[in-house]
Structure 1
């Protein structure tokens, strides 16, 4: 019944993959001397935040996928699962935004500060969108299965469009941030490699 909801929300996983700096899976840093050590340290501070939040966001996606097609689930149980999942996603993206804000501008990168701020702002926006989703779901009528199902459908139609837009602009902002040496520095990090390999191993259900 709520496949649309699942498809829209799974876009977030793509965004985490983009944050890993390995989104187009570059095969290492050519024959040059590699990125500036300061930039590598910056990349480490960002990348080290990724695996834990990636796991949290994936688990939230999985819990939604597990109940989305179960129309026999009591509304109260469904509400609780959706609410917790949206809270976890909101927390996950906020933590990633905080990691980028805490790292500051990537050293030695032209307009790096703007690119870093744009990416952090987009992640914070996605966090706010999931918080809004949680609020909407928390407000649904669980006394009546039909009303709850209709309410959930409305939430899926309106809020997930917003989440989808935020995901797309977030992915674009991260790609802009991760050009050139920033990408190389992030691709060197074990934590980013781990997140990227787990993202590419996951079955992709990306909706266009």
Structure 2
């Protein structure tokens, strides 16, 4: 019953892969100041990524369980959406705290766009949590219809936010920024695990 919702809502997971699937390029190493900036951003990724992956796993797990009582489903969805909101807000905050990548043309705009998109995605999940919290759990049919309506409307918004967030992160991660991030163990580890587990989330 909830597979559509799960499929639509786990799209946000792509963002973390975009943020951390870095590979090094170029012979000359990036500016040390830029490397320090990348470390600030990358060090925040694993903890937030764990939250996001775990939340997506919860959504996927209950989507296949049609016998779950509405109250339990509501609780699981609400917690997952809260975790997703927290995860993306954490990434947005990390980018915001790091500031503009030093020595990069247009770096401030690229950094602000990426942070703004991540914060927007976080807000979408806060909104989803509120809507799920408001569903009628006394009646299985009403609850199922409510979830379907949420999937139809909200999932589209989350999908749009996720796409624009991915684009903003790709723009931020071009050239020297990508090379600087590639030197960070916290980015490298995630990049490797993302490619090793294409079905995760």
Q: Deviations over 1:78-117 (max 9, x none)?
A: 0000000000000000000000000000000001000000
| Aligned residue among 68, 77, 85 for 2:80 | 85
The runs of 5 or more residues in structure 1 that have no matched partner are none
Give structure 2 stretches of 5+ with no counterpart: none
Query: Is residue 4 of structure 1 aligned with residue 17 of structure 2?
Result: no
1:154 alignment partner in structure 2: 149
CA distance in 2, matches of 1:200, 1:54: 15
Cα distance in structure 1, aligned partners of 2:21 and 2:198 = 20
Does structure 1 residue 133 correspond to structure 2 residue 146? no
What is the aligned partner in structure 2 of residue 112 from structure 1? Answer: 107
Q: TM-score normalized by structure 1?
A: 0.93
Higher helix share goes to which structure? 2
Equivalent in the alignment of 1:30: 26
- Judge conservation of contact 2:53–2:200 (CA < 8 Å) in 1: no
Pick from 36, 41, 44 the counterpart of residue 41 of structure 1.
36
CA shift for structure 1 position 197: 1.9
Alignment partners' CA distance in 2, 1:2 and 1:194: 32
Q: TM-score, normalised by structure 2?
A: 0.96
What's 2:194 paired with?
Answer: 199
1:113 & 1:30 partners in 2: Cα distance?
23
State the Cα distance separating 1:177 from its structure 2 match: 0.4
Structure 1 residues 186 and 81, CA gap change in structure 2 (3 angstroms): same
State the 1:2 CA deviation: 1.8
Deviations 1:14-73 (A, max 9, x none): 110111152xxx3x3332x21000000000000000011111100000011111121111
Aligned to 1:74: 69
User: What stretches of structure 1 move > 3 A for 4+ residues in a row?
Assistant: 203-206
